[in-house]
Structure 1
Amino acid sequence: MTAASPAGSRRPSLLLVTDLAYEARGRRYCDEDIFLASRLRGAFDVALCHPRDAAALLERFDIALVRNSGPVLHYQEAYDAFRARALELRVPVYNPLGGRGDMAGKEYLVELSRAGFPVIPTVDREADLASLPEVTEYVVKPKLGADSVGLRFVPGDAAGAELAGAAEGSLLVQPRIAFRYEVSFYFVDHDFQYALYAPDPERRWVLEPYAASAEDLAFARRFIGWNALTHGIQRVDACRTAEGALLLVELEDLNPYLSLDRVGEVVREAFVARLTESVLSLTG
């Protein structure tokens, strides 16, 4: 059930920022946003727009909801203009623009690694490579990357050359570690909603419901608390190592894909109701 406006009052207007034509491996992002728009219309007057159009349209709406809009690096100038326009007009953006996770690039992985958080060890300087576990292969990826754009695997003796040949601080290096499976925990505000995992590491987009333990949720909530967003959808992506530990892979706080087609109807409708409540709370 979604909230209804009192008789005679104006319904808040919502600009849902999405790229319905974005192609993702093994998934149809557009289906998820079409579904969400259909449910959010119970509480909002909803319009969908491409991220390149968001800045120009923003002043007509009470709130903007950024959903499956694709990697920002594909439209960085337009995204920067959208952020600036939202701040100028004081139009709330959901998620709020102060996220410390992927919204701000992947620098946080270096920060969390240095601080001793349970994250895949990460460095961005050649001088720090010695702090990583010694492995036969490393993962190299751009700090401003997304959806595996620019991700490469390099031999152990090539990681230093990769960092030395790139602009200072533009790349991340991590050890390529063996893991049992990847698992994602989905939150609205600070409230856990559901978890999904890929039991086969070779088919990482084939997700199934995952029964999160108390220890799993304590792990995920540690990163939700660190991010300190008061509102928003966040997805904590982790991997289960061969030894059984969870390590953070990514804290997605900009436009996390929700895989709502992989959960049951009860869970899906509960998520929509909680999201609607959260977005409404920002409209005054």
Structure 2
Amino acid sequence: MKTILYLTDLYYKANGRKYYEEDLFITDRLRAHFNILIGHPQQAIRFLEHSDLVVFRNTGPVIGYQEYFQKFLEAVKDHEVKTFNSFDGKADIKGKQYLIDLTKNGFPVIPTINSAEAIDQLGHCDKYVLKLKNGADSIGMKILNKKDLLKSDLENKLIQPFIDFKYEVSFYYLNDEFQYALYAPDKAKRWELTEYEASEQDLDFAEKFISWNGIQQGITRVDACRQPDGSLLLVELEDLNPFLSIDLLNAEKREEFINALIHSLKKII
């Protein structure tokens, strides 16, 4: 059997999510088809030569080990190791600059700027959201009024209007194929998710970003918010290590997803 190096941080504490449960479930299913090495993301380089494929999963925000992650990317390239996700995306794997780029190009995304001089582009706002340009998992995020925002250090930050949305919804894709959708009916409880029946219009929205990103292989989560007028805006495009929440799926959908994942990994190696 081929060998997979499955990278995860089983001890990372995330609000509303249990990384270890999800990854232990997935690796238990994979081991019938592959030899599985479970490794920590900050100890990955030494095991690359023993692996046919690296599966980069619930590793936590790479902002906590950015220097090692860059060395890891270089080692993957030098050793010509296949990875899942592939590291050719243009979204969260490269930070949040893509939100500014998508805004400029007229995509349906929460309007995003990175300077006080451009703040009028956001229109009138009572509150603003300030985010780290290389942030993840809400690390460093602040909600500020305009006065406090303009007094803040805006270097390497993003500015967005604070939007009073109805709910958040996420669309999960394996490669470029839609798998399932989940949403948080109570917007104050982001990770209390339930299954969501995606409409044709919803998928048209999500697939704009899947097509734009164009990763070769991997799992992508399209996070969006539903506005009061019914339209969707992109919150973020997670193309590095999206949490899957597969424990919330019904048994049939969960089985379909796992089988599709196994098939995809076999096809790569």
Q: Indicate if the aligned counterparts of 1:180 and 1:239 stay in contact, CA closer than 8 A.
A: yes
- Choose from 178, 187, 198 the match for 2:173: 187
**Following TM superposition, by how much is the alpha carbon of 1:166 offset from its aligned partner in structure 2, in angstroms?**
3.5
Q: Which amino acid aligns with 2:163?
A: I
Q: Indicate if the aligned counterparts of 1:129 and 1:160 stay in contact, CA closer than 8 A.
A: no
Distance 1:98 1:46 in 2: 24
Greater mean alpha carbon deviation, residues 274-283 or residues 215-224: 274-283
**Residue number in structure 2 paired with 1:101:** 91
**Residue number in structure 1 paired with 2:189:** 203
**Residue number in structure 2 paired with 1:223:** 209
**Residue number in structure 2 paired with 1:125:** 115
**Residue number in structure 2 paired with 1:4:** none
Q: Indicate if the aligned counterparts of 2:114 and 2:154 stay in contact, CA closer than 8 A.
A: no
Secondary structure in 2 aligned to 1:30? helix
RMSD: 0.9
Number of residue-to-residue matches in the alignment:
269
Distance 1:129 1:280 in 2: 48
**Residue number in structure 1 paired with 2:36:** 46
Please give the TM-score of this superposition, normalised by the length of structure 2: 0.98
Q: Indicate if the aligned counterparts of 1:71 and 1:147 stay in contact, CA closer than 8 A.
A: yes
**Residue number in structure 2 paired with 1:111:** 101
**Residue number in structure 1 paired with 2:76:** 86
Secondary structure in 2 aligned to 1:75? helix
Distance 1:198 1:188 in 2: 21
Secondary structure in 1 aligned to 2:151? helix
What do the CA deviations read for 1:10-54 (whole angstroms, capped 9, x no partner)? x11000000000001122111000001011112210111101101
**Residue number in structure 1 paired with 2:22:** 32
Matches within 5 A, 1:7-18: 11-18=1-8
Distance 1:217 1:67 in 2: 24
Q: Which amino acid aligns with 2:231?
A: A
Distance 2:259 2:191 in 1: 25
Matches within 5 A, 1:62-77: 62-77=52-67
Q: Does 1:250 align with 2:236?
A: yes
Matches within 5 A, 1:151-166: 151-162=141-152, 165-166=153-154
Secondary structure in 2 aligned to 1:113? helix
Greater mean alpha carbon deviation, residues 73-82 or residues 113-122: 73-82
Percent identity for Structure 1 against Structure 2: 44
Secondary structure in 2 aligned to 1:215? helix
Q: Which amino acid aligns with 2:157?
A: L
**Following TM superposition, by how much is the alpha carbon of 1:57 offset from its aligned partner in structure 2, in angstroms?**
1.1
Q: Which amino acid aligns with 2:39?
A: C
**Residue number in structure 1 paired with 2:253:** 267
Q: Indicate if the aligned counterparts of 1:55 and 1:78 stay in contact, CA closer than 8 A.
A: no
**Following TM superposition, by how much is the alpha carbon of 1:179 offset from its aligned partner in structure 2, in angstroms?**
0.6
Q: Which amino acid aligns with 1:240?
A: R
Distance 1:71 1:220 in 2: 23
**Following TM superposition, by how much is the alpha carbon of 1:282 offset from its aligned partner in structure 2, in angstroms?**
1.7
Q: Which amino acid aligns with 2:61?
A: P
**Residue number in structure 2 paired with 1:7:** none
Greater mean alpha carbon deviation, residues 124-133 or residues 48-57: 124-133
Q: Which amino acid aligns with 2:252?
A: V
**Residue number in structure 1 paired with 2:139:** 149
**Residue number in structure 2 paired with 1:58:** 48
**Following TM superposition, by how much is the alpha carbon of 1:133 offset from its aligned partner in structure 2, in angstroms?**
2.2
What do the CA deviations read for 1:73-111 (whole angstroms, capped 9, x no partner)? 111112111111100000011111111110110100000
Distance 1:50 1:275 in 2: 21
Secondary structure in 2 aligned to 1:147? coil
Please give the TM-score of this superposition, normalised by the length of structure 1: 0.93
**Following TM superposition, by how much is the alpha carbon of 1:242 offset from its aligned partner in structure 2, in angstroms?**
1.2
**Residue number in structure 1 paired with 2:158:** 172
Q: Which amino acid aligns with 2:167?
A: Y
Distance 1:174 1:166 in 2: 12
Q: Which amino acid aligns with 2:143?
A: F
